[in-house]
Chain A
């Protein structure tokens, strides 16, 4: 479980996150939604430690991540898997080397065990027979799947997905959504997804947080969102649905 308490973040005096609090449950897909510039990407960067917060707490199973020292933070980070918007695969490494990278850096597995794990992860994302291909040789959807395989290679406790469907066609988007949902439930991961895709929100939203102008405006789930009675959320939804 990840809990954020009263988080503030500003850039050059401009407040981007204003007293944001939320709880992201284990084994659930937790969606963070909001318009462009609302602060959801900054929130995700703060959660994984790419941006320091100004004030507040980020608790990874009661470990105050934001206030840990560098070495302790590294320990928590090894429990984190992240799928970046552009997949962020390493250009110089082929698919299997990308997926095996965290294993090579942090596991005590032998090379053959690492290879087995790589093949298992690639099978989880339905991507067999692409081991030797380089990122420049595969499609956007395949890159995302390799990104997911890399993110789950070390059996993470926490999975972050930044716009997992951006730039993908609707069919591939559904495949990626299904994968994330299956992995979350099967491995009981705390998954947090930044998304603009309303189909994703409706399909995966076990918990949904709507951020508006840096403020946590509404929290609920996919059964409540259409009847929230929240004016800003309704405006946001209408823009996508109609």
Chain B
């Protein structure tokens, strides 16, 4: 299957999702369940990665800052902007593509090969809407919340590494964080995150939903889901940056 056929099928798949749920109560129940699975289930790994990335960014920035003319507060300014603009949304979403994306693809893939999706269709349930839409809605709502946590913990990690390591004083760190802050960076970060969340959940669902065969194909679908989600994230990151950050 060539790439254009895949993109066409993916587009039709996404279009087919947005139909009225058979039972709104059931849809809401499933969405809450998915929010818990994606949000609470990913909190630990997001926290660990954010603290680590924030700490490493601070240490590496301090290491490169050899000139005595440049104030040390620039370390936390760089940390703030890189965390908000790139590290928190992009790195976190790449990790979530692996964790959440593989989980979605294997769950739907397994349902597909064991005829559970056929069973839904035979009953008259719109299987793609019933199974996939709650995942997308949950992802689009919960992943931005995870990114807020990632931003905060990235800066906390940077503070901890910078101050404890003696690279920056607490006062300089605070001054750098507050210096020339532009609110649009946060807005841009959320635009990116919502786009990434949609791509992760929809691409992974697409690969899982159309799995045919057996256990081997379920594994392949999970791998494809992660790879294509990551490619989608990186490609859209560039496009959004070009569109929204041009001076």
Q: Which residues of A contact B (CB under 8 A)?
A: 48-50, 73-75, 77-78, 80, 82, 84-86, 88-91, 101-102, 104-106, 160
Q: How many A-B residue pairs have CB under 8 A?
A: 52
Which residues from chain B contact A104 at a C-beta distance below 8 Å?
Answer: 23, 26
Return A107 CB to nearest CB of chain B, in Å: 10
- The SS class assigned to the B binding surface is helix
By beta carbon, the residue of chain A nearest B126 is A74
By beta carbon, the residue of chain A nearest B115 is A88
B26 touches A91 (CB 8 A): no
Which residues from chain B contact A74 at a C-beta distance below 8 Å?
Answer: 124
B122 within 8 A of A: yes
Q: Show 6 residue pairs from A and B whose CB-CB distance is below 8 angstroms, ordered by the A residue.
A: A73-B124, A77-B121, A78-B123, A80-B124, A84-B119, A88-B119
Which residues from chain A contact B116 at a C-beta distance below 8 Å?
Answer: 88-91
Interface string of B103-124 (1 = CB under 8 A from A): 0000000110011101101111
User: Known contacts A74-B124, A88-B114; is A105 also within 8 Å of B26 by CB?
Assistant: yes
Which residues from chain A contact B119 at a C-beta distance below 8 Å?
Answer: 82, 84, 88, 90
A50 touches B23 (CB 8 A): no
Could you tell me which residues of chain B, from 98 to 156, have a CB within 8 Å of some CB in chain A? 110-111, 114-116, 118-119, 121-125
How far, in angstroms, from A89 to B111 measured CA to CA in the complex?
Answer: 9
Max count, chain B CB within 10 A of own CB: residue among A78, A90, A105, A160? A105
Which residues from chain A contact B23 at a C-beta distance below 8 Å?
Answer: 104-105
A49 touches B122 (CB 8 A): yes
A102 touches B123 (CB 8 A): yes
Total B residues in contact with A, Cβ cutoff 8 Å: 15
How far, in angstroms, from A74 to B118 measured CA to CA in the complex?
Answer: 14
By beta carbon, the residue of chain A nearest B125 is A105
How far, in angstroms, from A31 to B161 measured CA to CA in the complex?
Answer: 73
Return A177 CB to nearest CB of chain B, in Å: 21
A106 touches B114 (CB 8 A): no
By beta carbon, the residue of chain B nearest A77 is B124
A-B pairs, 8 with minimum CB distance = A77-B124, A88-B115, A88-B119, A74-B124, A78-B124, A82-B122, A84-B115, A48-B122
Max count, chain B CB within 10 A of own CB: residue among A75, A86, A88? A88
A84 touches B118 (CB 8 A): yes
A88 touches B26 (CB 8 A): no
A105 touches B22 (CB 8 A): yes
Return A88 CB to nearest CB of chain B, in Å: 4
Which residues from chain B contact A88 at a C-beta distance below 8 Å?
Answer: 114-116, 118-119
Which residues from chain B contact A160 at a C-beta distance below 8 Å?
Answer: 122
Which residues from chain A contact B110 at a C-beta distance below 8 Å?
Answer: 91
How far, in angstroms, from A101 to B110 measured CA to CA in the complex?
Answer: 19
Which residues from chain A contact B115 at a C-beta distance below 8 Å?
Answer: 84-86, 88
Return B98 CB to nearest CB of chain A, in Å: 22
A86 touches B122 (CB 8 A): no
A106 touches B124 (CB 8 A): yes
A77 touches B123 (CB 8 A): yes
Return B25 CB to nearest CB of chain A, in Å: 9
How far, in angstroms, from A50 to B121 measured CA to CA in the complex?
Answer: 7
How far, in angstroms, from A50 to B122 measured CA to CA in the complex?
Answer: 7
By beta carbon, the residue of chain B nearest A89 is B116
A86 touches B114 (CB 8 A): yes
